[in-house]
Amino acid sequence: MARWGMVIDLDKCTGCQACTIACKEENNVPFGSPYENIRRLAPYWNKVIAASEGEYPSLNIEMIPMPCMHCDNPPCVQVCPAKATYLREDGIVVQNFRRCIGCKYCIAACPYGVRNHNYKEQEEHPYNRPDSPPDRSVIGPWPFPHRTHGVVEKCTFCFHRIDEGIKEGKRIGIDVVPACVEACPTEARVFGDLKDPNSHVSRLLATRGSFVLREKMGTRPKVHYLHK
């Protein structure tokens, strides 16, 4: 069984945010308003944060893309009362809208702030995708269902692409990658099987110094970052 992970090279990343937009495009994630931007009501499956240190003129700002970390020890899975979020065998932390009761415990428990509650109906936004059955709360098989308000959503490593790719016998990580990895123009994001020693991700982790965010939390995230 594969164990999907992602490696993001912070040296190559230029903070262009193509990943953020491509993810919204792929997964029918609603956009927000200025008010929602300040209050952090708008959902972001992938966000890019800027962390600054130092003073003029010796200043450094790191731009760090943060998708769901798909932790191997996920606190969100631990606290979800309805089994709406669970760790799949291949390592992806999945979100099931049908079971989700919207208690928001997972949002409280996620150390990375990557989970988003739907504060309003998706259809309030003019842009939505028609290639989805418009019925609410579709389990499992995607793509891109309309989520009702009240449920929690987050990055899924585009498991719909991966599952489809495996069915078609394609190489995951090479032919088939999540939308953010595909969109990254500098090729800073790499996706693949962490258990496969020959995969690009494994080789990168072996040759470059890497770290994960908030390691002390013990969540064992599967999104690794390469130092600048």
Residues 143-182 that bind another protein (CB under 8 A): 148-152, 182
Whichever of 150 and 195 has its CB closer to another protein, that residue is 150
Whichever of 53 and 197 has its CB closer to another protein, that residue is 53
Minimum separation from the CB atom of position 121 to another protein (A): 6
71 binds another protein (CB under 8 A): no
Q: Which residue shows structure tokens 């709406």?
A: 84
* One of 6, 8, 22, 92 touching another protein (CB under 8 A): 22
Residues 153, 45: contact at Cβ < 8 Å? yes
Stretch that binds another protein, among 8-16, 88-96, 161-169, 190-198 (CB under 8 A): 8-16
94 binds another protein (CB under 8 A): no
Residues 127, 21: contact at Cβ < 8 Å? no
Stretch that binds another protein, among 55-63, 88-96, 155-163, 164-172 (CB under 8 A): 55-63
Partners of residue 155 on adjacent β-strands? none
Site for another protein in 194-213 (CB under 8 A): 213
Q: What share of the chain is helix, strand, coil (3-state, %, to 5)?
A: 25, 20, 55
Q: Which residue shows structure tokens 């790191």?
A: 62
Minimum separation from the CB atom of position 10 to another protein (A): 10
**Maximal CA-CA distance, the chain:** 55
* One of 95, 116, 156, 199 touching another protein (CB under 8 A): 116
Query: CB count, 10 Å around CB of 116?
Result: 21
Stretch that binds another protein, among 88-96, 128-136, 159-167, 192-200 (CB under 8 A): 128-136
> How far from chain centre, in Å, is Cα 16?
17
Number of H helices, E strands in the chain: 7, 10
**Distances in whole angstroms, Cα of residue 13 to Cα of each of 8, 124, 139, 154, 203:** 8, 33, 34, 22, 19
40 binds another protein (CB under 8 A): yes
Minimum separation from the CB atom of position 201 to another protein (A): 15
